[in-house]
Amino acid sequence: MKLYIAEKPSLGKGIAEYLPGQKSKGNGFIQCGSDVVTWCFGHIFEQEEPDFYTPDTVPVTPKGKKKWRFEELPIFPGQWKRRPKDDAKAQIKVIRDLLKKASVVVNAGDPDREGQLLVDEVLEELGWKGKTERIWLAALDEQSVKKALANLKNNAEYQNLRNSAEARSRADWLTGMNLTRAYTLRNSGSGVVSVGRVQTPTLALVVARDEKIERFKPKDFYVPRIATGFWSAWEKRDELVDAEGYLTDKAIADGLVTKAKASGTATVIGYESSEKKQQAPLGYSLAELQKVCSAKLGLSAQQVLDAAQELYETHKCATYPRTDCRYLPEEQHGEAGRVLSGLAKLGFTDLTKDADASQKSAIWNTGKVTAHHAIIPTGSMQGSLSGAAAKVFELIVRSYLAQFYPPYVFRATKVVLDCAGEAWKATANVPVKPGWKAVYGMEVSGEDGEEDVQTIPVLKKGQVLPITGADVQSKQTKPPARFTDGTLIEAMSNIHKIVDDPEAKAKLKETSGLGTEATRANTLETLVNRGFIERKGKQILSTSAGRAVVKALPKELIDPVLTARWEDALGAIASGTVTLEKFESLQRSFVEKMIETAKKTTLAIGEARKPVGGKGGRKAGGKGPGCSACKKATVALKTKKGSVFFKCEGCQSCWWPDKQDEKKLGTKWEAR
């Protein structure tokens, strides 16, 4: 019997659908002729808790947990142990019983390092020693599944990938469990100081951006212009602008315009005009899709991931979403006609009729495909779409269809004029043929900037033009924008853009980011749930508790460069150039160093209360308890459903009353 073990039920059912033989459902599995498909529910085994590795002599709290003490730190497992999750024990028994009958097992985890480990660890814990194969599924449509079933690999080929995921798991455990305990023990406040190798540097990004905005002081600057049938702006001279390149002296700006008016004419000293072509943007990685959906649809990173996962698992209309790649393998180009035909049947006829399946854009590049290719439609669908999933799918479809449209053609013109001894420049980018932009209605999702569409006539050097107008535009510098889900995900995946060190920047640009495509959305939700960041509309802001954490922790724990380099090491483990043991040894040394640093640290951070869900509330009357984060007064509010919560008038954090609040106030809080 060949036993397929899938990462989750939906994946298992997707495989079973295309296996030969009569289908019959059992308790936690599907019989498919002589083969059987069963599944996990994500990780069904987890790392043991720190208490498992500490002596039984450690004092116990009233809740039955061992007390946190510096005497036990650092906690380094002599031999790593896993335990079954409580809600997975029944399914573990199903898998154990099926393994006894199996002759071959197929690892059907998701096509990434975490999916590899997820099934491998089940086989390890249950003592499987037999033949094991691997199925690599990037999509769940019929053609993709049948192709993957016909190309099973030896699971041993993925051992390094499994080790990479194991290294990530152990590093997170060593850092999170040890340093959370260490810094919480040094906290004089009531809150747990949660520390994580990805979440803490991510929090630091938000805090740094917020503080930069708050320190920002707007600066007035001026842009002199002249009109000669089109507008030209003054070309800056270093001696007249400040160190940042701004002309801040209004008198100088007015003087330049006055001189230009008095001159009466301008002479063409430079003229360039040519048609240029722009290829369609590459396909979507998860980070790029999250960025676009945040800007265009107002969706959170988690909402986008959930929608994309639904498209992949439930409707089978899009490929695997947790990808960091924006390219497609050239070998897949032959399927373009089938996919376009399928999209036409799904209602995209207006766009597919002008698509040329034989066209090859820059997206087709096998050499740049990583573990997964870009997110694209499969050309088929099960069920119907609605809500966020429908909107996200349309973006994915348009991105794919754009690859089969001709380039966008525009005329780029640049003119340099001499007027009163000063240089003045005008540019214009005028659309000629919409090409792939027709797929987007001339609006490109995720593209920055706008077209400069002023008309500039054909000119010749030496040509004299009359001055028909002149003015000074008054402008003001703006602070950087607050992070949104999309821009924060982008910052996490492009850490190199904020790194100054040239060597580190080059290395990070090549391979690294903060976290992975699969984990970034969850990292943001974790920070929100712990009260370290909050959402206001599309914006993400740090709370007072979040700022206090960043201020208290050492640079090594908040510096995204170091964390991104850990991702480099995990990639090296996956490629076989670094061993799991070497990486873990370095992590243990790092944790030891950080614990010593923690012993010299003093914190005063209040408990991060559970944020209130839903949209706003209204006053319920009365004052609440003092805020544990900033000690200021709170007001009691209630949601539309009548549940009471507290909102701080200082840091604006919100939380539900708990037994401690009720005991302190001597009353049950009820809406009035």
The set of catalytic residues is 320
For residue 128, what are its two tokens?
Answer: 């499987």
Residue 101: alpha-carbon gap to chain centroid: 42
The span from the CA of 497 to the CA of 492, in Å, is 10
Contact 608, 532 (CB under 8 A): yes
Strands of the 153-154 sheet, one edge to the other: 23-26, 29-32, 35-39, 2-6, 104-108, 131-134, 153-154
| Contact residues for 319 (Cβ-Cβ < 8 A; gap 6+) | 138, 139, 144, 312, 372, 373, 374, 375, 376, 377, 378
The interaxial angle of helices 336-343 and 387-401, nearest 10 deg, is: 140
The span from the CA of 440 to the CA of 460, in Å, is 36
The span from the CA of 656 to the CA of 617, in Å, is 13
Residue with tokens 């006055």: 258
Taking CB atoms within 8 Å and a gap of at least 24, the contacts of 126-133 are: 126/92, 126/95, 126/96, 126/99, 128/99, 130/102, 130/103, 130/104, 130/105, 131/103, 131/104, 131/105, 132/104, 132/105, 132/106, 132/107, 132/156, 133/104, 133/105, 133/106, 133/107
Residue with tokens 């694209």: 376
For residue 670, what are its two tokens?
Answer: 């009820």
